[in-house]
Amino acid sequence: MDFPYLTIASAAAALRQGEFSAIELTRAALQRIEAYNGDLNAYITLDPEGALAAAEVADRRLKSGDATPLTGIPIAMKDIFCTRGLRTTCSSRMLADFVPPYDATVVRKLREAGAVMMGKTNMDEFAMGSSTETSYFGITRNPWDRERIPGGSSGGSAAAMAASLCLGATGTDTGGSIRQPAALTGLTGLKPTYGRVSRYGMIAFASSLDQAGPMTWTAEDAALLLQAMAGHDPLDSTSIDAPVPDYAAHLNGSIKGLRIGVPGEYFGEGLDPALREVLDNAQQLFRKLGAVIFPVSLPHTEYAIPTYYILAPAEASSNLARYDGIKFGYRCDQPRDLSDLYTRTRAEGFGSEVKRRIMLGTYVLSSGYYDAYYRKAQKVRRLIAGDFETAFHQVDLLLTPTTPSTAFRLGEKSDDPVRMYLSDIFTINVNLAGLPGISVPCGVDGQGLPMGMQLIGRPLEEAVMLKAAHAYQQATGWHKRRPRL
């Protein structure tokens, strides 16, 4: 068993053929976690006993012929999903000892599919960050270069995948937090259409933007994970009641005639020249595969950052008001009165980035500023969504960079929030418009660091997006590269 080079699809085939058992596969994952997690800090809570118990059940399902493609597959769960009986922290002191009494819908569905959950992965606190440097449990390091960030906020899941400490991982994407870390660690990361995957049991950051999705080596694996995660959930009022196609069944076949738009606004000043070159090469390859490349325009792109950083903090300030030291979570010692309880609990329980966003969100929602900022940002959000609607009258997909550059060094942007926020400049609009997006590896820079290409699709057309990504990966080998650990 060459664990680092296994994919979900290849491991599932080997399990069905009896080349190894689910218990053997799980033990191999646990051995790699023991060897490398101490340095990378990808997992912050492990569940080896639970994983081996689930693997034992998976082996029985495999023998009985009742297995799904995920049965026996070791996966990592971002520590933003509630897991019954297992600590769920959101990488915050506020929830450092919180043990939920129920599973998030995503967790329940993956368990039902037979996946083996290895543990919970590190993240930016309450998913607020782009580098996994704001976690109460310490930074996570990029397996490609331990002095660089793995992206964020799903950086723990990205690092666990890139170091082959699992075969698949979950992430959440509010402004690029699946796609950006996937690009910086050489992975395939998929953000589904808003509402395609249930948010029930997923601790909220910005409720109109948050969406769960898979992080894998390949588009084929992303299709298998998404298949299990997607679907209507009556427990989530924002869940879309629409059929879920068989994503894996739609992967193969020609993409001849597929219309791919290239928005000029994403290829301007600030884009790494090496990344521009590999994206030009990607366009040429798509042409060879039969796709047609069109120039398109998304004229309100420049307003993405200010719009997002008004709306997301506003929703965060509302969602995080529940953490007051009364019902659950961290509580300060010996409060003098109710005001002192609230003030010190929140001051001590939240980190600096979370406090910054709460303050910003409260400000834009306050009397006298609501119309000037929040209402105006909602109007601009509608204009941004309109740009995509217009573009999709002409094309089937959009092709853009995922990030402006490769992974930056740890601490490089920690003291400059605006520079940090610009890391998500190419991903934020997708969330504002509620669209699906996928990042796939498309090259490396002069230092061998991975680069990512983003494909953006129409609402609920993840199958088209996955098919194009799969065709690209069938013709290239970037997704087969692994870091040297």
The residues annotated with a catalytic role in the active site are 78, 153, 177
**pLDDT surpassing 90 at residue 401:** yes
Contacts of 198 (CB under 8 A, 6+ apart): 104, 105, 106, 212, 231, 233, 235, 236, 239
* Domain 3-254 annotated CATH 2.170.260.10: no
Q: Tell me what pLDDT residue 464 has.
A: 98
pLDDT digits (tens, 9 = 90+) for 369-382: 999 999 999 999 99
* 414 confidence band (pLDDT: 50, 70, 90): confident
Average pLDDT of the segment spanning 426-452: 97
* 1 confidence band (pLDDT: 50, 70, 90): confident
The radius of gyration computed from the CA coordinates of the chain, to the nearest angstrom, equals: 21
Q: Tell me what pLDDT residue 194 has.
A: 98
Q: What span, in angstroms and rounded, lies between the C-alpha atoms of 210 and 208? A: 6
Q: Tell me what pLDDT residue 184 has.
A: 98
* 394 confidence band (pLDDT: 50, 70, 90): very high
pLDDT digits (tens, 9 = 90+) for 211-230: 999 999 999 999 999 999 99
**pLDDT surpassing 90 at residue 415:** no
127-151: burial string, b at 16+ Cβ within 10 Å, e else? bbbbbbbbbbbebbbbbbbeebbbb
Q: Tell me what pLDDT residue 368 has.
A: 87
What's the chain's average pLDDT? 97
Task: Among 143-147, 325-329, 358-362, 459-463, name the one with the lowest average pLDDT.
Answer: 325-329
* Cβ count within 10 A of residue 385: 16
Q: What span, in angstroms and rounded, lies between the C-alpha atoms of 214 and 230? A: 10
- What is the share, in percent, of the chain residues with pLDDT greater than 90? 96
- What is the share, in percent, of the chain residues with pLDDT greater than 70? 100
Q: Tell me what pLDDT residue 421 has.
A: 83
* 106 confidence band (pLDDT: 50, 70, 90): very high
**pLDDT surpassing 90 at residue 420:** no
| Rounded (10°) angle between helices 22-40 and 155-162 | 120
**pLDDT surpassing 90 at residue 417:** no
Q: What span, in angstroms and rounded, lies between the C-alpha atoms of 196 and 243? A: 10
* 330 confidence band (pLDDT: 50, 70, 90): very high
Q: What span, in angstroms and rounded, lies between the C-alpha atoms of 235 and 450? A: 38
| Rounded (10°) angle between helices 22-40 and 48-64 | 150
**pLDDT surpassing 90 at residue 48:** yes
Average pLDDT of the segment spanning 243-269: 95
By three-state DSSP, how is residue 418 classified? Answer: helix
**pLDDT surpassing 90 at residue 176:** yes
Task: Among 165-169, 411-415, 445-449, name the one with the lowest average pLDDT.
Answer: 411-415
**pLDDT surpassing 90 at residue 165:** yes
Nearest to 58 by CA among 67, 50, 49: 67
Average pLDDT of the segment spanning 13-32: 97
* Cβ count within 10 A of residue 114: 26
pLDDT digits (tens, 9 = 90+) for 444-477: 999 999 999 999 999 999 999 999 999 999 999 9
Helix (H) or strand (E) holding 31: helix 22-40
